[in-house]
Amino acid sequence: MKNIGIVGATGSIGVQATEIIHKYPDAFNVKFLSCHNNINELLSQISILKPEYAVVTGEKAVSGGVTDTKILYGMNALTTLISEISGELDLVLSSAVGFAGIMPTYTALKNGVNVALANKESIVAAGKTMIQTAEKTNTSIMPVDSEHSAIYQCLKGHGNNFIDKVVLTASGGPFRYRPSDSMDYVDIGETLKHPNWNMGNKITVDSATMMNKGLELIEAHYLFDISPDKLDVFIHPQSIFHSIVSFIDGSNLAQIGLPDMKAPISYALGFPDRLNWGAERLTPQILNGLTFFKPDKKKYPCFAIALDVLKEGKNSLMITMNAANEVAVDTFLRGLIKFTDIHRVIGNTLELFESRDISSIDEIISLDNVVREKAKKISQNIGR
C-alpha cells in the first residue's frame, strides 16, 4: 500500500486523482489533502478518503467539529507537514495551480519523497534546482502532464544519447482553426470551451494561447535533459498522440490514447503497475483521419515568447514569463484585459528583467513576487 499526499486536491487533477484512489482502497492510504479555498470539495474528499491531515492554504476555514481529520492552515503548515511526515510518505502528487506548487514540490523532494508532478511551473521556474535536489536525495519525479507522461513511457529502456527528436503534441485549443486576424474579438466564454480536455480555467486559457505548450517544452528540457533543438511541437487536434520520440536509427515511439487525464494520473499513481480505472478503449478506427500541423506563431504569440525564453536558457526569464503569464491570465479572466493583451503583458514584463541563472529557492520566490507586482501594473495600464 502506498502512503500518499495530494497538494491541490480540489483542482481538476486532484479531483480525478481522488476518484482513482477511491477505486483502489487496498492500494492507497491518503495521509493528507490540501486545497486553497474550495472547502466544500475538500470536505467531500475527506469524508471519502479519511486522511489524517488536511491543509487549507487560503483564507477560508473549516467549521470546527465537522471531521476527525486534523485541519491545518497556511502554506508554511503544508510544507512543515510534508517535512514532518516525509518518512511515512511514498508519494506526493503535486497538482496545485501555478507557482503555488513550487514550495510543496521542493519540500517533498528535499525530504526524499517521490513526486508525481502535475505542477509544471515548479520545473519552469526552478527546473535545475528541482532536478539536482531529486538526484541528491535519490527521489524520482514522475510527470503527470499527458505529454511528459508519454515521453517518460516512450523513453523507458532508452538513453538520451539515442534521441533524435521529441515531438510534443498540442490540441491548439479552442481557436486552432480561427483566423489569426480575428483573435482580438474572442471572449472569456469562448476561451474556456476547450474542445478536448476538461481542465481548470488557468490551464484552459494557457491552452488557448499555447503558452501551456511553451511551458511544457521548458519542462521537457529539464525533466529529460533534452536540448531545445531536439524539441518540437505539432498541433494535433484529435489529441490521440500525446508525444512522439524519434530515435537515431529512424524508429519512432508514440504513446497514444483517448484524451483523458486519468490515464497519465493513474500511471503516475500506480507506477510500476498500471491501474484498470475504467478507461474508454482506443480502437484502430479512431486513428483514421488524424491530422498534424505546425503552430502559427502569429496566432500564438505567447508560444513564440516561450520559445525565445527556452532558447535563451536562463531561468530568471522563465520565472518572469511564468509569473507575468499568471498575472495576465488572472486579469483576463476577471474581464479587465483582452485575450490578445495576455502576450503584451508578458512581453512588456520580460523587458524589465535581466537574463541570469538563479538556483536559490528563496531568490526564485523573491523574483516571482517582484515580477508579479510589475506585471499587475502593466496589466492595469493596458486594461485602461
Q: Is 326 annotated as a binding residue?
A: no
Final residue belonging to a domain, choices 111, 143, 175? 143
Mark whether 136 and 174 lie in a shared domain.
no
Mark whether 297 and 179 lie in a shared domain.
yes
Mark whether 204 and 230 lie in a shared domain.
yes
Mark whether 20 and 128 lie in a shared domain.
yes
Mark whether 153 and 284 lie in a shared domain.
yes
The fraction of the chain above a pLDDT of 70, given in percent, is 99
Mark whether 184 and 125 lie in a shared domain.
no
Q: Is 207 annotated as a binding residue?
A: yes
Mark whether 275 and 178 lie in a shared domain.
yes
Q: Is 180 annotated as a binding residue?
A: no
Instruction: Pick the range with the lowest mean pLDDT from 195-199, 325-329, 352-356.
Output: 195-199
- Give the residue-averaged pLDDT of 103-124: 96
List the domain range (segments joined by +) for residue 303: 148-313
Q: What is the pLDDT of residues 169-200, one digit of tens each?
A: 999 888 888 888 888 888 898 898 877 776 78
* pLDDT on residue 384: 67
* pLDDT on residue 187: 86
Mark whether 199 and 172 lie in a shared domain.
yes
Q: Is 216 annotated as a binding residue?
A: yes
Identity of the residue numbered 212: N
> Residue 134: inside a domain, yes or no?
yes
Q: Is 12 annotated as a binding residue?
A: yes
* pLDDT on residue 198: 67
Separation of alpha carbons 338 and 328, rounded Å: 10
Assigned C-alpha cell, 249: 536509427
Bridge-partner residues for 166, per DSSP? 231, 245
Say if residue 138's pLDDT is above 80: yes
Bridge-partner residues for 231, per DSSP? 166
- Give the residue-averaged pLDDT of 349-373: 95
> Residue 97: inside a domain, yes or no?
yes
Helix (H, G, I), strand (E, B) or coil at 1: coil
Q: Is 148 annotated as a binding residue?
A: no
Structurally, the chain folds into a number of domains equal to 2
Q: Is 119 annotated as a binding residue?
A: yes
* pLDDT on residue 208: 93
Identity of the residue numbered 337: I
The fraction of the chain above a pLDDT of 90, given in percent, is 85
Q: Is 266 annotated as a binding residue?
A: no
- pLDDT band of residue 157 (cuts 50, 70, 90) is confident
Distance of CA 29 to the CA centre of its chain: 24
Q: Is 312 annotated as a binding residue?
A: no
> Residue 181: inside a domain, yes or no?
yes
- Give the residue-averaged pLDDT of 8-23: 95
Say if residue 40's pLDDT is above 80: yes
| Higher per-residue pLDDT: 325 or 174 | 325
> Residue 123: inside a domain, yes or no?
yes
Q: Is 171 annotated as a binding residue?
A: yes
Mark whether 261 and 173 lie in a shared domain.
yes
* pLDDT on residue 308: 97
Q: Is 196 annotated as a binding residue?
A: no
Q: Is 63 annotated as a binding residue?
A: no
Question: Residue 28 belongs to a domain with what CATH number?
Answer: 3.40.50.720
Separation of alpha carbons 165 and 220, rounded Å: 12
Q: What is the pLDDT of residues 289-302, one digit of tens each?
A: 999 999 999 999 99
Angle at 136 between CA 132 and CA 139, to 5 degrees: 90
User: Which is nearest to 306 in space by CA: 343, 259, 251?
Assistant: 343
Final residue belonging to a domain, choices 313, 339, 355? 313
Q: Is 147 annotated as a binding residue?
A: yes
* pLDDT on residue 186: 87
> Residue 33: inside a domain, yes or no?
yes
Half-sphere exposure of 365 (CA within 13 A, CB side): 9
Please give the mean pLDDT across all residues of the chain.
Answer: 94
* pLDDT on residue 195: 76
Q: Is 80 annotated as a binding residue?
A: no
Distance of CA 204 to the CA centre of its chain: 11
Q: Is 50 annotated as a binding residue?
A: no
* pLDDT on residue 206: 94
Q: What is the pLDDT of residues 43-93, one digit of tens each?
A: 999 999 999 999 999 988 888 777 889 999 999 999 999 999 999 999 999
Mark whether 242 and 297 lie in a shared domain.
yes
Q: Is 212 annotated as a binding residue?
A: yes
Helix (H, G, I), strand (E, B) or coil at 272: coil
> Residue 382: inside a domain, yes or no?
no
- Give the residue-averaged pLDDT of 252-275: 96
Helices 39-49 and 12-23: crossing angle, nearest 10°?
A: 10
Mark whether 120 and 222 lie in a shared domain.
no
Say if residue 350's pLDDT is above 80: yes
> Residue 376: inside a domain, yes or no?
no
Final residue belonging to a domain, choices 108, 143, 178? 143
> Residue 257: inside a domain, yes or no?
yes
Mark whether 251 and 188 lie in a shared domain.
yes
Sign of CA dihedral 288, 289, 293, 298: negative
Half-sphere exposure of 290 (CA within 13 A, CB side): 19
